[in-house]
Amino acid sequence: MAMKRANGTGTVYKMKHKALRKPYQAVVTLGYNSEGKPLRKSIGTFATQKEAYNALSAYDANAPQYEVKDTTFGQCWEWMIEDKTRLGVNLAKSGYVYNKPKVEHLMRVPIKDIRLTHLQDIIDRYSDMSRTALSQIKTVLKSTFDVAIKNDIVDKNYASLVTLPAKPKSDMHKPFTPAEIYKLWKLSDTDRNARVLLTCVYTGMRPGEIQKIKLKDVHIKEHYMIGGIKTEAGKNRIIPIADCIMPFIKEWYRKSSFERGEYLMPSDIPKNLRPALSVYLNRKFDDHRPHDARHTCATLLIHIGVAESTVKTILGHRHSDVTNQVYVHRDATVLVDAVNKLPSRDELLRDEFQALTYARG
């Protein structure tokens, strides 16, 4: 409930929608719109009511100086978090919570004193992280400056000018060699992570796609599933099941059905599958990522001479040849036949596959 001060001197609210470290919000009225509604501006959130009133008094004493000179990056960060919370943004998933320690040294700095060089230094400091992670850091910086601009604290968003490093070679996908796929087969006897990766190798699925396959979309008798994410061509596509990985699919199907689950993946498969696979690959292999399994599928299919249109359909890539696309989509057996041509466990030991090497790309 709001607590009133004299007209025009601001108001203090206690926010009660959830437990907050700083629940008291100090708000001032800047003016009124054409309909007579007040145009309000938050000057910050505070741990106690007294701190909020002190902030209003400081604002009253010299509002322009207070806004421009004393408003810190940390205060703008708090405003930004409030805005994201109102919009229902998942702060943890979006990287705001995770990346806060990386900008902690800026929290007490007046945001008007922060320049591009300060922000670029943060990106450069963490340049060994993935491009996705660096893009997240840039996003939280940009969002903080956006709020400062919205509140007339600064007039330029330096974060939007930050340069991300060139995509390093290590970010590019490297297919598993036949020897490495054989190693996965040996590990799969006792290791569920190996079974998941092999399923991605022989279907071309992403880890995120395999988690979203629903039981009702698994057609074991016909040897295919329906699923996919990302692009229009990739969504709700036919995903063929090779004979060699059918035991994995049947096992997961049985477990999940027993648990009365909705999805193919049973409860013993980690919810955060991709990070779990990354950790696993770091322990078991040299320089591999979960997405490399999908890239392996494409590389092997091309190597054994499967038609390009069929490879694109299996991976969910868009066709330039619409006629071929329609034909292949209508006939799931074409896709099943293709993945059954991929080398099974014992076939990987053949000389023709052992000699096969790939260029990273």
Distances (CA, A) of 74 to 87, 91, 148: 20, 16, 11
Quote the pLDDT of residue 12.
85
Per-residue pLDDT band at 37 (split at 50, 70, 90): low
Same domain? 113 vs 229: no
Same domain? 182 vs 284: yes
Same domain? 160 vs 209: no
Q: Is residue 80 one of the residues assigned to a domain?
A: no
Same domain? 198 vs 347: yes
Quote the domain boundaries for residue 348: 178-354
Q: Is residue 77 one of the residues assigned to a domain?
A: no
pLDDT at 264 over 90: yes
Q: What is the pLDDT of residues 79-105, one digit of tens each?
A: 899 888 888 888 877 778 888 999 999
Q: Is residue 78 one of the residues assigned to a domain?
A: no
Same domain? 41 vs 132: no
Q: Which residue, of 141, 168, 195, is where some domain finishes?
A: 168
Q: What is the pLDDT of residues 112-134, one digit of tens each?
A: 999 999 999 999 988 877 777 88
DSSP assignment of 336-360: HHHHTTS--TGGGGSHHHHT-----
Same domain? 95 vs 61: no
Same domain? 62 vs 97: no
Q: Is residue 81 one of the residues assigned to a domain?
A: no
Report CA Rg, the chain: 27
Same domain? 137 vs 260: no
Taking every pair of Cα atoms in the chain, the longest distance, rounded to a whole number of angstroms, is: 87
CATH number at residue 204: 1.10.443.10
Per-residue pLDDT band at 233 (split at 50, 70, 90): low
d(CA 26, CA 54): 9
Q: Residue type at 78?
A: E
Per-residue pLDDT band at 23 (split at 50, 70, 90): confident
Q: Is residue 76 one of the residues assigned to a domain?
A: no
Quote the pLDDT of residue 360.
47
Q: If residue 49 lies in a helix (H) or strand (E), which one and from where to where?
A: helix 49-61
The mean per-residue pLDDT over the stretch 273-302 comes to 90
Say which residue, 292 or 58, is predicted with more confidence: 292
319 CB contacts (<8 Å, ≥6 apart)? 233, 309, 312, 313, 325
Same domain? 201 vs 342: yes
Length of the chain counted residue by residue = 361
Q: How many domains does the chain have?
A: 3
Q: What rounded mean pLDDT belongs to the chain?
A: 83
Same domain? 258 vs 117: no
- Is pTM beyond 0.85? Reply is no
Distances (CA, A) of 215 to 206, 207, 263, 312: 18, 16, 5, 25
Q: What is the pLDDT of residues 172-200, one digit of tens each?
A: 678 899 999 999 999 999 999 999 999 99
Say which residue, 236 or 69, is predicted with more confidence: 236
Q: Is residue 361 one of the residues assigned to a domain?
A: no
Same domain? 337 vs 287: yes
User: Which span out of 52-61, 323-332, 339-348 was modeled with the highest average pLDDT?
Assistant: 339-348
Same domain? 187 vs 293: yes
Round to the nearest angstrom and report the end-to-end CA distance of the chain: 59
CATH number at residue 115: 1.10.150.130
Q: Which residue, of 168, 202, 220, is where some domain finishes?
A: 168
Q: Which residue, of 15, 35, 70, is where some domain finishes?
A: 70
Q: Is residue 135 one of the residues assigned to a domain?
A: yes
